[in-house]
Amino acid sequence: MRITPAELTALRAKRAAPTPSSWRGGVLTVVVPGVLKNPLNARWHYYTRARWSRTWHEKTAGAILEADQRQAWRAISALPRHVHFHAYVQRLFDSDGLQAALHAALKPCRDALVVYGVLSGDAERDGHVFTCQQEKSAWRGVVVTVRARGLR
């Protein structure tokens, strides 16, 4: 079987990771590679779950530091933000508990945004809006986009 150079480029693009973490124009993009698991369906020992959560927390922290704008975000973290999590998974989460399962899987990333000063908090009283979306992809991980609530 032969494929053309254009088809080869298209195949490589499907497996390629998104652009690296950055902060441009008031929008913070954090790219966190890794395999998401639904902790609501897993029968884990508490230590296994804690290790999984800590690993995702550390990966997110590394991506935030890669963006290298933590100090600038800390000064304006109290402003209401729109945080969008785009999960790239091998198999989509079930639709019966999609929002709960996806939010549970993304909880360590969300907590890292608070700990490292990108957000003031993740409670409703802080005024931030959290949305999430999932997509099948060969590359697995999460792309977190944080912007002011007025920007689209």
Average pLDDT over residues 38-46: 79
Q: 41 or 138: whose pLDDT is higher?
A: 138
Q: What are phi and psi of 92, to 5 degrees?
A: -65, 145
Half-sphere exposure of 102 (CA within 13 A, CB side): 23
pLDDT tens digits, one per residue of 57-98: 999 988 888 776 555 555 566 678 899 999 998 888 877 666
The percent of residues above 70 in pLDDT, for the chain, comes to: 74
Please give the torsion angle defined by the CA atoms of residues 16, 18, 22 and 28, in that order, rounded to the nearest 10 degrees.
-160
Check pLDDT > 80 for residue 19.
Answer: no
The percent of residues above 90 in pLDDT, for the chain, comes to: 15
State the amino acid at position 70 in one-letter form. Answer: R
Residue 33 host element (H or E): strand 27-33
CA distance 34 to 16: 13
Predicted TM-score of the model (pTM): 0.79
